Amino acid sequence: MALEWVVLGYAAAAEAIMVILLTMPGLDALRKGLVAVTRNLLKPFLSIIPFCLFLLMDIYWKYETRPSCDSDSCTPSEHLRHQKSIMKSQRNALLIASALVFYWILYSVTNLVVRIEQLNQRVERLKNKD
């Protein structure tokens, strides 16, 4: 199961890097290429949404089937294992949330950049028309 989390982590990192590159000032020469690449990657990255839902259901299933560890019924090693399991689940849920948020931000920023480029082209046409 660790491979799924590695894939999700890489996808979230790639989304974050693309958002940073799209919003970084001074990259106007590269922006057109970055926008084209990002727009082409948005559809494949859409598969992150059902993947995250699957992983979220996996976390929920593990939470529901996890043996409960009451204060007196567990040995210290079982209690430690229970706490580690809870921490892993919380970390993985945070990774899921960050991947989904980065996808939404990437989608929104890409659409805004495309819209700004269209408006700039319209302004240039109107200036040339006058």
pLDDT digits (tens, 9 = 90+) for 94-129: 999 999 999 999 999 999 999 999 999 999 999 998
Range of the domain at 8: 1-66+76-128
The CA-CA-CA angle for residues 33, 99, 80, to 5°, reads 150
Per 3-state DSSP, the chain is made up of helix, strand and coil in percentages (nearest 5) of: 85, 0, 15
Which segments in the chain show pLDDT lower than 50?
A: none
The angle that helices 28-45 and 76-129 make with each other, rounded to 10 degrees, is 130
**Contact status, residue 129 vs residue 41, Cβ threshold 8 Å:** no
Residue 119 belongs to a domain: yes
**pLDDT of res. 66:** 76
Q: How far apart are CA 86 and CA 68, in angstroms?
A: 11
Q: Is the residue at 109 inside a domain?
A: yes
Q: Residue 13: what pLDDT?
A: 93
The reply to whether 27 falls in a domain is: yes
CB atoms within 10 A of CB 11: 20
Question: Is 49 domain-assigned?
Answer: yes
What does DSSP assign to residue 70? -
Count of structural domains, the chain: 1
Q: Is residue 71 part of a domain?
A: no
